[in-house]
């Protein structure tokens, strides 16, 4: 984890921990799917299967709203000391130019960047931050348990609690409180 104790001073801190991957509904700010893994698991290893599962379980009419990745719009050149892809051009001494895209058609080319609709929907991505801030209130940051299975169960229980609060709020006529775990729990 990068840490900046002072301007222009970067330190790295290493820790052993876990990550909770959540696929959530941005409008209701409620979790749909979640999975806890060790912290060094790459996002795409979990999120892509979660998206496939959500597509199979729910009737999704989703469209991609992902950030433009300017690095993928130009050639990648490796350093002169080595080619990460063992590309044949590197051997010729001109450096390594390689395209890392494995999909023939980039989904980002289908996205209407810059349109008001894209900007409005893309700005909803911050909803996940509110979801996690509510879950931190339920002790997810410093769980009282140890080891992956226990932490995973702890996180799942926290998500179930959020969903139960939302369900209870809706059923008791407090639909405006479906996302208010901290303030609604004392009223139950």
Instruction: Summarize pLDDT for 35-59 with one digit per residue, the tens.
Output: 999 888 888 899 889 988 998 888 7
Residue showing tokens 């509110």: 130
H-type alpha helices, the chain: 43-57, 88-91, 116-122, 127-137, 148-171, 181-184
Q: How far is CA 87 from CA 77, 95, 106, 107, 187, in A?
A: 11, 9, 22, 25, 63
**Is the predicted pLDDT of residue 134 greater than 80, yes or no?**
no
Residue 100: band (very low, low, confident or very high) from pLDDT cuts 50, 70, 90: very low
Contact between 18 and 35 under an 8 Å Cβ cutoff? The reply is no
Global pTM? 0.64
Residues near 81 by Cβ (< 8 Å), separated by ≥ 6?
none
Of 65-69, 104-108, 158-162, 165-169, which range is least confident? 104-108
């Amino acid at each position: 984890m990068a840490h900046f104790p002072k301007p222009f001073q970067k330190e790295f801190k290493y820790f052993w921990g876990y990550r909770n991957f959540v696929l959530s509904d941005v409008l209701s700010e409620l979790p749909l799917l979640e999975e806890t893994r060790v912290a060094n698991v790459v996002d795409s290893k979990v999120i892509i299967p979660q998206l496939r599962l959500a597509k199979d379980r729910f009737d999704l009419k989703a469209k991609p709203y992902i950030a433009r990745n300017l690095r993928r719009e130009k050639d990648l050149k490796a350093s002169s000391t080595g080619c990460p892809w063992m590309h044949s051009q590197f051997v010729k001494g001109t450096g390594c130019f390689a395209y890392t895209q494995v999909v023939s058609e980039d989904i980002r080319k289908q996205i209407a960047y810059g349109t008001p609709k894209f900007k409005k929907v893309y700005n909803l991505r911050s909803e996940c931050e509110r979801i996690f801030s509510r879950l931190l209130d339920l002790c997810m940051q410093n769980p009282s348990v140890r080891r992956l299975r226990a932490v995973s169960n702890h996180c799942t229980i926290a998500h179930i609690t959020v969903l139960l609060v939302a369900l209870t709020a809706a059923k008791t006529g407090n639909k405006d409180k479906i996302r208010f775990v901290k303030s609604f729990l004392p009223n139950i």
